[in-house]
Amino acid sequence: MAKRKKKRHLKIIPFFILLLLISGGIHYGVQYVQKQENLRGLLITKKQKEEEERIKKEQEENYKACLTREFNEEEMTEALEKKQKEVDAFITANRYQTSVLYEDLTTGFSYTYKPTTVYYGCSLIKIVDAIYLINKAIAGEVDLDTETVTYTANYKKAFSSGMATRSIGEKVTLRDLITYAITVSDNSAHLMLLDYIGFNTLKAYGQSLGAKVILTGGDNFGNQTAEDTNIYLKEAYKIITENEEYGPFLKSIMDNNERNAFNTDEIKIYHKYGSYGDYYHDIGLSLDDENPYAISILTLHENSGYLQVVQGIHEKIRELHSAFYENRKSMCQLEVYGK
CA-to-CA dists, residue 264 to 254, 312, 314, angstroms:
16, 12, 11
Predicted pLDDT at 183: 98
Residues 173-201: tens digit of each pLDDT:
999 999 999 999 999 999 999 999 999 99
Sequence-ordered alpha helix ranges (H) in 154-305? 174-183, 187-197, 199-209, 226-242, 247-254
> Does residue 295 contact residue 102 with C-beta atoms inside 8 Å?
yes
Q: How confident is the model at residue 10 (pLDDT cuts 50, 70, 90)?
A: very low
Sequence-ordered alpha helix ranges (H) in the chain? 15-68, 78-93, 125-138, 174-183, 187-197, 199-209, 226-242, 247-254, 306-337
Instruction: Determine phi and psi for 205, rounding to 5 degrees.
Output: -65, -50
This prediction has a pTM of: 0.86
> Above 60 in pLDDT, residue 11?
no
Residues 35-52: tens digit of each pLDDT:
777 777 777 787 888 878
From 32-41, 110-119, 310-319, the region with the lowest mean pLDDT: 32-41
From 32-36, 70-74, 101-105, 241-245, the region with the lowest mean pLDDT: 32-36
Residues 214-231: tens digit of each pLDDT:
999 999 999 999 999 999
Average pLDDT of the chain, as a whole number: 92
Q: How confident is the model at residue 15 (pLDDT cuts 50, 70, 90)?
A: low
Predicted pLDDT at 32: 72
CA–CA gap between residue 143 and residue 148 (Å, rounded): 9
User: 76-337 adopts what CATH topology?
Assistant: Beta-lactamase (3.40.710)
User: Domain-by-domain residue ranges, the chain?
Assistant: 76-337
CA–CA gap between residue 177 and residue 65 (Å, rounded): 41
CA-to-CA dists, residue 43 to 51, 93, 244, 295, angstroms:
12, 68, 46, 55
Query: Could you give the percent of the chain with pLDDT greater than 90?
Result: 79
Mean pLDDT computed over 4-19: 55
CA-to-CA dists, residue 269 to 36, 114, 180, 289, angstroms:
64, 22, 18, 10
